[in-house]
Chains A and B, each alone.
Chain A
Amino acid sequence: METFRVKFKQAIPNRVLIADDDPVMRHLVTTTVKQQDCEVVVVNVGREAYRILQSDSQFRAAILDMTMPFLEGLDLIRYMRSEKRLMRIPIMMITAEQDIKLMASSFSAGATAFLPKPFTPEQLQSAIRMLIGNRKWTKRAA
């Protein structure tokens, strides 16, 4: 008797990890991600994001602030890119740094996208849509 092996494609998780110590930025990013019908897991320090990532890899994307207490965004990227179960997760860095070298460092560490502050709502929406691969249009673009 012939046997068939069916391999199911793993569903893409619908959760986005957001780590930022600035409450204004957290609220803006959270609001925009939710508009893309994604759930959010929000933390305000890098160390907490690290703790979550140690046991949970079911994220569609991660949005990290570059400068956070205890553990910075760049350290988190390096950790995520060194763990097989986290490697596939696209990462966007948000920073108020104007230094082009930091952008280069982020990409070389494994960031997928880079959003410098200040940003406009359109820039934030575009970056998040690109990051999570969601083509859903926003109210204004519809």
Chain B
Amino acid sequence: MSFDQVNSGPRETGALHLIPAVRIPSDALDVEVLNAFEELQSDDGSDLIIELIDLYLQDAPPQILAIGKASGSAEWAQLKRAAHNLKGSSSTLGVRHVAEICEKLEAANCLDPSDGVEALIQLLEYKFAKARQALAAERQRRLV
């Protein structure tokens, strides 16, 4: 089983314990940007970074689905709104590639097929999958 398979698999498989406790370099996630939010940590025993990762991983997939659905039905305003929403949290948490693609989607001329909206959406799905692995690894590292 590859590292990617381990990290992208559901938690109930029990495979996540294979993730090493050391930080895995990933260009999908700027870990320094994410972990800078440690300074907002409260004293109640919770881990703000884990909470942020969980919220992001819950919120991002429906946004990506909404982007794909809006593209299929040519609802460009909705596509740009979903891309805009995803860009904000992605850039703040250091999920760079996702944020960059969302920015391109926001700026794209959706009425021009040559502007590559479909290709951008495919790339977004791929880059988000990579980011999810990096976030899951960082989450697990913090639990150890």
Contacts and interface: CB of A to CB of B under 8 A. Distances in A.
Interface of A: 21-25, 27-28, 31-32, 34-35, 67, 95-97, 117-122, 124-125, 138-140
Contacts of A67: 81, 84-85
Given A24-B93, A96-B91, 9 more contacts: A21-B85, A24-B89, A25-B89, A35-B42, A117-B88, A119-B92, A121-B37, A121-B39, A125-B40
Contacts of A119: 92
Interface of B: 33, 36-37, 39-42, 48, 51-52, 55-56, 58-59, 81, 84-85, 87-89, 91-93, 99
Contacts of A24: 52, 55-56, 59, 89, 92-93
Contacts, number: 64
30 contacts: A22-B59, A22-B88, A23-B55, A23-B59, A24-B55, A24-B92, A24-B93, A27-B51, A28-B92, A31-B40, A31-B42, A31-B48, A35-B40, A35-B42, A96-B84, A96-B87, A96-B88, A96-B91, A97-B84, A117-B91, A117-B92, A118-B33, A118-B88, A118-B91, A118-B99, A119-B92, A121-B37, A121-B40, A124-B40, A139-B41
Nearest to A95: B88
Contacts of A138: 39-40
